[in-house]
Amino acid sequence: MGAFKETKFPADAPAAQKALGWVDDRFPLTKLWNDQWGKYYAPKNFNYWYIFGSLAMFVLVLQIVTGIFLTMHYKPDANLAFNSVEYIMREVPWGWLVRYMHSTGASAFFIVVYLHMTRALMYGSYRKPRELIWLFGFAIFLCLMAEAFFGYLLPWGQMSYWGAQVIVNLFGAIPLIGPDLSLWIRGDYVVSDATLNRFFAFHVIAIPLVLLGLVAAHLIALHEVGSSNPDGIEVKENLGPDGHPVDSIPSHPYYTVHDIFGVSVFLLIFSSVVFFAPEMGGYFLEYNNFLPGDPLKTPLHIAPTWYFTPFYSVLRATTADFMWVLMGAVAAYVAFLWLKSRLAFRTKAIIAVIALVAIVGMLPQVLDAKFWGVVFFGGSVVILAFLPWLDHSPVKSIRYRPMWHKYLYTLLAIAFVALGYLGTQPPSPIGTIVSQAATLYYFAFFLLMPWWSTAGTFKKVPDRVTFHPH
């Protein structure tokens, strides 16, 4: 074994430098800082779409810290939970602020993550060699959805109670195992104290541990292959004499200042919401949730929190009448695959058989629309994971794609927002038709992407990133 060599400093060296040296001799603190941020070189043409990654990290820390303080006073008991939240709001010093920061932070988390994913869609940040980064990010998104779902029940308000009841009951639509699966998730025949305790354990321990591990993996994978940029150019392919990409700059101090500015703007908006509109018109905190959960009184309109409603609308749009449209859409897609796809004959045959089985299963005599609603609900989320293999465009960034590609992305954003809004509203005939049209477009956007992403006239991608000093 090699002898231990301790770093030597001059006698008049600052105490902080000596302390840091002592730590570095025993733990690679400075090396970690330099590798992950201090001397990590990032493309010099980042715009403000690139602040949402660091904002997501900031909100994660905010949620963990506020969550710790809330658990000090919260009681995970069906008879005490609602009153413990009221105690936090009314009696605990600054408890109302911590609770509103946590509830607003949940919505802020999803806003930031949705914008972060939008940037990835715009600039092709999921394309080779960043497929694993995207998959880790998708897993983080799933964890966030699980974390929000488990935390939604904890206040034990009317909407919390009935929202959890409805979502858990969805699993009952799965043939054969559905009823037993719903019972296993609840821990009882109805949402009860057993449900609250297990949801609390998942919300404060299990999911956060998995989430932190995935965030670490996401960042390590990102810094291994390097960050993308608005031009979609791989800056690592053009190195300077110093061995660093000529079109990159150290993250610190340049992007440290950049991100601090972004965090400052975020905190200004976040604080305005916390202090002046924490309910945000019933979207962040539903008014029914200020009433204790009552198993004997069902709210007139039960809907999940807004960040689930785009996918919830897909489920609600899957009606018995709409199934005939979906059967036609599946048949048309398989016919299109046979005519346009370069897949092997055997692969096409397997897809055709699966599609035929699905079409038969969509018949009302076989499986009801509720089951297929759950399938499309899950499919609308899972399809995002396959994005790196669906996009075959010769360029990564939307900057160099045909103009009509931008219109398709804009329509996707409109469809997603429309689904989200309609999911918060009571069902109506017009709303159902709009949500069905938006659902068809949402799936068509991704399932037809291998063909439309290669069509049209593309602009020439420059050899160097486009950068305008400011």
- 44 Cβ contact list (under 8 Å, min separation 6): 247, 248, 249, 254, 465, 467
| Residue 18 covered by a domain | no
> Which residue is it, tokens 């009882």?
188
Nearest in space to 270 (alpha carbons), one of 97, 144, 418, 94? 97
| Residue 8 covered by a domain | no
> Which residue is it, tokens 């500015």?
261
**Could you please report the per-residue DSSP string of 89-104?**
HHTSTTHHHHHHHHHH
DSSP at 87: H
290 CA to centre of own chain: 27
| Residue 63 covered by a domain | yes
| Residue 225 covered by a domain | yes
Task: Give the pLDDT confidence score for residue 470 in this predicted structure.
Answer: 58
Query: Quick check: helix, strand or coil at residue 343?
Result: coil
- Assign 3-state DSSP to the chain and report helix, strand, coil percentages, each to 5: 70, 0, 30
The amino acid at residue 189 is Y
Which tokens hold the place of 8? 């030597």
Structural domains in the chain (count) = 1
Q: What is the extent of the structural domain holding 100?
A: 30-287
The amino acid at residue 409 is Y
| Residue 437 covered by a domain | no
d(CA 344, CA 321): 35
Task: Give the pLDDT confidence score for residue 325 in this predicted structure.
Answer: 93
CB atoms within 10 A of CB 134: 21
Does this model's pTM top 0.95? My answer is no
**What is the number of helices (H) and of strands (E) in the chain?**
19, 2
CB under 8 Å, gap of 24 or more: what pairs does 354-360 form?
355/330, 355/331, 358/330, 359/327, 359/330, 359/331
Sign of CA dihedral 210, 211, 212, 213: positive
Supply the Cα-derived Rg of the chain in whole angstroms. Answer: 25
Which tokens hold the place of 174? 């799965």
Task: Give the pLDDT confidence score for residue 3 in this predicted structure.
Answer: 63
**Binding site per annotation, positions:** 102, 116, 203, 218, 223
| Residue 53 covered by a domain | yes
CB atoms within 10 A of CB 68: 11
Nearest in space to 366 (alpha carbons), one of 328, 329, 323? 323
> Rounded to a whole number, what is the largest CA-CA distance in the chain?
86
| Residue 58 covered by a domain | yes
| Residue 396 covered by a domain | no
Compute CA distances 363 → 170, 179, 355, 356, 368, whole Å. 20, 22, 13, 11, 8
pLDDT along the chain (470 residues), means of 10: 68 83 88 86 92 96 97 95 96 96 97 97 94 97 95 92 86 82 88 92 96 95 92 88 88 92 96 96 90 88 89 93 93 91 86 91 86 92 96 95 96 97 92 96 96 94 80
d(CA 336, CA 5): 68
**Binding site per annotation, positions for heme b:** 102, 116, 203, 218
CATH of the domain at 185: 1.20.810.10
Task: Give the pLDDT confidence score for residue 171 in this predicted structure.
Answer: 82
- 14 Cβ contact list (under 8 Å, min separation 6): none
Compute CA distances 314 → 101, 283, 377, whole Å. 30, 19, 6
**Binding site per annotation, positions for a ubiquinone:** 223
